[in-house]
Each structure stands twice: as structure tokens, then as C-alpha cells.
């Protein structure tokens, strides 16, 4: 996904869920490491961590965008835009955004991993990220005790 495609996605989500235009810039920031995205108060721009999209997928990206748009729209309306504010919590819940983004595998944050293995449960679709291979005949899903399968292997280029 390019920055232009991200801009279009953010504008679409803003109109669909908030009924308001997003009139600033949305872009991927390769320097973000520990957070999914951030809203910049001074410029009103939104920056997104592209690694979350690459590892966690489009659904996680949409959640991060909804979260950042809550900060954006509330700040422009001079209402409580911080995580602790009731206005923020209410708006976030109404649009179905996450309070916090999911955690990336710790290995990726430290920059040490060469690859990440993603396993999923056949029954409940719960996902598990691992640095090392697991014996899927020995382990089961911790949520429903279902059978596990290797979904994909993501290589991290340095």
C-alpha cells in the first residue's frame, strides 16, 4: 500500500464512520517502532506504522486509523481528544475503534528477528505469532483447544 492509497483509505473511513472530511495528510512513517500510529497536534497530520499493516493486516490498519481519526476530529472540535477523556472514549466506542493497537511480536520491535511465524487455530481462528517453529502436533489453541496450523512465514529484511 502506498501513501496515496493510505490517504484515500483514511478519507473514506473518516467520511463513512465520522461523517466528516479528513482535510490533512496521512502517511506511513518508517521511524515509528512501538506504536501503530500517531496524530500530530501541530500539523493535524496522521502517521501510521506500515509494519502493522504488513504483519497484522488490513483490519488492524483500519482500527488504527479509526483511533487516530478520533484524536483528529475531537481536537479540531475543541473537545477532549486525549485517551483519558470521556469524549474520546465515547467516540472510539461508537465507531468501533480499538483503545490500543495489538502488540507486534517483540522480536520485530527489537529489530533482531529474521522471520516471524504466524500460526492460527483451525476452529476459532485465533492467531499466534512466534519466532521459533512449534510442533503443531504437540500444542493446541489456548482459547478453544483446537488444532493449530502454520498460516504464513514473514521474512524481515534488514
Known catalytic membership, residue 68: yes
The answer to whether the CB of 28 falls within 8 A of the CB of 46 is: no
CA distance 109 to 62: 21
Write down the domain spans for the chain: 3-95, 106-155
CATH no. of 3-95 = 3.30.2010.10
Identify the band that residue 97 occupies on the pLDDT scale cut at 50, 70 and 90: confident
pTM for this predicted structure: 0.66
pLDDT tens profile 27-79: 999 888 888 899 999 999 999 998 888 888 888 899 999 999 999 999 999 99
- The answer to whether the beta carbons of residues 83 and 97 sit under 8 Å apart is no
Output b/e per residue, 17-36; b: 16+ Cβ within 10 A.
Answer: bbeeebebebebbeebeeeb
Cα–Cα distance for residue pair 35/73, rounded to 1 Å:
20
Catalytic residue (one of 54, 59, 68, 151): 68
Quick: pLDDT tens for 123-135.
Answer: 999 999 888 888 9
Amino acid at each position: 500500500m502506498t501513501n496515496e492509497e493510505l490517504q484515500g483509505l483514511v478519507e473514506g473511513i473518516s467520511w463513512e464512520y465520522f461523517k466528516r472530511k479528513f482535510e490533512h495528510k496521512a502517511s506511513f512513517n518508517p521511524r515509528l517502532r512501538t506504536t501503530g500510529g500517531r496524530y500530530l497536534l501541530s500539523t493535524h497530520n496522521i502517521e501510521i506504522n506500515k509494519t502493522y499493516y504488513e504483519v497484522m493486516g488490513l483490519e488492524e490498519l483500519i482500527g488504527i486509523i479509526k483511533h487516530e481519526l478520533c484524536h483528529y476530529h475531537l481536537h479540531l472540535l475543541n473537545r477532549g481528544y486525549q485517551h483519558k477523556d470521556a469524549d474520546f472514549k465515547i467516540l472510539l466506542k461508537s465507531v468501533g475503534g480499538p483503545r490500543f493497537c495489538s502488540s507486534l511480536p517483540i522480536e520485530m520491535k527489537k529489530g533482531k528477528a529474521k522471520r516471524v511465524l504466524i500460526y492460527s487455530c483451525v476452529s476459532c481462528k485465533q492467531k499466534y505469532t512466534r519466532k521459533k517453529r512449534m510442533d503443531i502436533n504437540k500444542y493446541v489453541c489456548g482459547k478453544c483447544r483446537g488444532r493449530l496450523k502454520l498460516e504464513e512465514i514473514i521474512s524481515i529484511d534488514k
